[in-house]
Amino acid sequence: MAAKTEAPDTVVAANMRIEGELKSGGNIKIDGIISGKVQTSADLVIGPNAQIDADLIASNAVIAGTVKGNVTIKNSLTVLESGKIVGNVSCSSLGIREGAYFSGNCRMQEPKQNAPSLEPE
């Protein structure tokens, strides 16, 4: 996700506060405050000043702010130096930069591998 950054479809600006459920089929960038639940079938970016008290569900995520809640990511999760997660994480690929904070349990999905062929070559 970091290599290819697409413009977000939904932006929660630094001066915004949302209480409830935020659902989107597109990319979301959050710089504000959210309480409740955030769900997208695309990419999620949590900015360094964001304060999230919610469960997060996304395809890929980059977290630079504070998240208190469970984080469920289908593919790749990256927690940057300024990122903080207090809650459980489920993902396929996890990157935590030095200086980041994570308190909780982590469950990673095992990568699907091709079954070895039983037929002689």
Q: Residue 61 is part of which domain span? A: 10-96
Q: Is residue 81 part of a domain?
A: yes
| Residue-level pLDDT at 107 | 95
Q: What is the 3-state secondary structure (H, E, C) of the chain?
A: CCCCCCCCCEEECCCCEEEEEEEECCCEEECCEEEEEEEECCEEEECCCCEEEEEEEECEEEECCEEECCEEECCEEEECCCCEEECCEEECEEEECCCCEEECCEEECCCCCCCCCCCCC
| Residue-level pLDDT at 3 | 42
| Residue-level pLDDT at 121 | 54
Q: Is residue 117 part of a domain?
A: no
| Residue-level pLDDT at 2 | 45
Reported pTM: 0.84
Total number of domains in the chain: 1
Q: Is residue 18 part of a domain?
A: yes
pLDDT tens sequence for the chain (121 residues)? 444 557 888 999 999 999 999 999 999 999 999 999 999 999 999 999 999 999 999 999 999 999 999 999 999 999 999 999 999 999 999 999 999 999 999 999 876 665 555 555 5
| Residue-level pLDDT at 109 | 85
Q: Is residue 5 part of a domain?
A: no
Q: Is residue 2 part of a domain?
A: no
| Residue-level pLDDT at 114 | 59
Q: Is residue 49 part of a domain?
A: yes
Q: Is residue 61 part of a domain?
A: yes
| Residue-level pLDDT at 5 | 56
Q: Is residue 112 part of a domain?
A: no
Q: Are the C-beta atoms of 14 and 49 separated by less than 8 Å?
A: yes
